């Protein structure tokens, strides 16, 4: 089976390669794709070197899957070309997420809606993914009315340039800035560009994507997204109000058994999720679970995940795994 990774030399692309190998995805031929300046570079996968090629040449190879992590404009231009060539595209950009004709998938939440006709599938925003994995099992039981979320997002969500900025600042080196301000010893309440309503695109992604993934337009969501000087791992403070009341013991049991979730909550022994424990993990960690004493039928949670793994690469590969039965029927 031929697999193209578009954006193979970026942080998410590198993690896609790692996840494909770790999960023993049946790759017979890897097709790494990157920008023009990277063509010819070697990418190692499973002990073998593969040269980076152009997107046009990758389409001619007719891979069964193309995993995209190369930005919105690249996806808008090239994803349809791959699809026309018979390749199933799983796209990590925002290009197709809210398009009514394309599905926005988190396998643990709505993977059941995938079918053989899906040729372009959208991978959600990293912050949305970890939140809905944690909340959907509770939504099925108690029905969510409203979500208030504040994020604490790693610099890896911006890319290699941001990681370099943080490292430079910590070492007293002047260099290229990924952000308009210093990020070391600082927090920036600004992720992506501001929209007319005063929210950033990142915040509005969480609002819109949550409703689409959880298949419920009545859920009210408000978000504040913050960049913090952490390398790897997004954290979220989530307050959720349900239509039905809940028993805290039942909430713990539901999350304990939830797919893709690790319940890590023992405050008596100072056990709670932290981004450092999510590094290179595919699960969503949930802790600090407590009833909101200021509002009826409301709950507070702390949600942590590796944004490059479950927030991007792993979710994309899991979608591909779900689609395998349709691909194998045509191989």
Let me know if 139 is a catalytic residue: no
Which of 99, 126, 139, 279 is flagged as catalytic?
126
Is residue 79 within 8 Å of 95, Cβ to Cβ? yes
H/E element holding 14? helix 11-22
Q: Exposed, middle or buried by CB within 10 Å (0-12, 13-18, 19+), for 122?
A: buried
Is residue 122 within 8 Å of 212, Cβ to Cβ? no
Let me know if 234 is a catalytic residue: yes
Closest CA to 226 of 312, 305, 313, 127: 127
Residue 181 main-chain phi, psi, to 5 deg:
-135, 170
Which of 139, 187, 234, 279 is flagged as catalytic?
234
Whole-angstrom Cα distance, residue 216 to residue 285?
24
Is residue 126 within 8 Å of 304, Cβ to Cβ? no
Is residue 296 within 8 Å of 85, Cβ to Cβ? no
Whole-angstrom Cα distance, residue 139 to residue 146?
11
Task: Name residue, tokens 């992590």.
Answer: 69
Active site amino acids: 126, 234
């Amino acid at each position: 089976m031929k697999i193209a990774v578009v954006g193979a030399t970026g942080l998410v692309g590198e993690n896609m390669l790692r996840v494909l190998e770790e999960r023993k995805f049946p790759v017979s031929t890897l097709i790494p794709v990157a920008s023009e300046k990277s063509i010819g570079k070697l990418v190692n996968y499973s002990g073998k070197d593969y040269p980076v090629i152009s997107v046009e040449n990758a389409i001619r190879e007719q891979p069964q899957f193309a995993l995209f992590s190369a930005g919105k404009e690249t996806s808008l231009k090239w994803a349809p070309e791959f699809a026309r060539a018979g390749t199933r595209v799983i796209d990590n950009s925002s290009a197709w997420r809210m398009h009514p004709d394309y599905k926005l998938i988190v396998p643990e939440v709505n993977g059941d809606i995938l079918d053989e006709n899906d040729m372009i599938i959208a991978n959600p925003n990293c912050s949305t993914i970890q939140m809905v994995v944690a909340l959907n099992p509770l939504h099925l039981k108690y029905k969510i009315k409203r979500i208030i979320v504040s994020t604490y997002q790693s610099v890896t969500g911006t890319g290699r340039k941001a990681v370099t900025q943080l490292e430079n600042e910590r070492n007293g080196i002047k260099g290229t800035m990924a952000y308009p301000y210093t990020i070391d010893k600082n927090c920036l309440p600004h992720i992506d560009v501001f929209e007319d309503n005063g929210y950033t695109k990142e915040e509005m992604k969480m609002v819109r994507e949550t409703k689409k993934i959880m298949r419920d337009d009545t859920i009210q969501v408000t978000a504040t997204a913050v960049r913090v000087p952490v390398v790897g791992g997004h954290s979220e403070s989530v307050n959720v109000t349900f239509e039905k009341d809940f028993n805290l013991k039942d909430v713990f049991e539901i999350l304990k058994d939830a797919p893709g979730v690790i319940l890590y909550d023992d405050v008596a022994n100072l056990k709670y999720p932290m981004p450092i424990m999510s590094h290179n993990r595919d699960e969503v960690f949930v802790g600090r679970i407590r009833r909101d004493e200021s509002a009826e039928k409301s709950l507070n949670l702390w949600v942590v995940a590796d944004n490059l793994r479950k927030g991007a690469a792993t979710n994309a590969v899991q979608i591909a795994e779900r689609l395998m039965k349709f691909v194998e029927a045509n191989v």
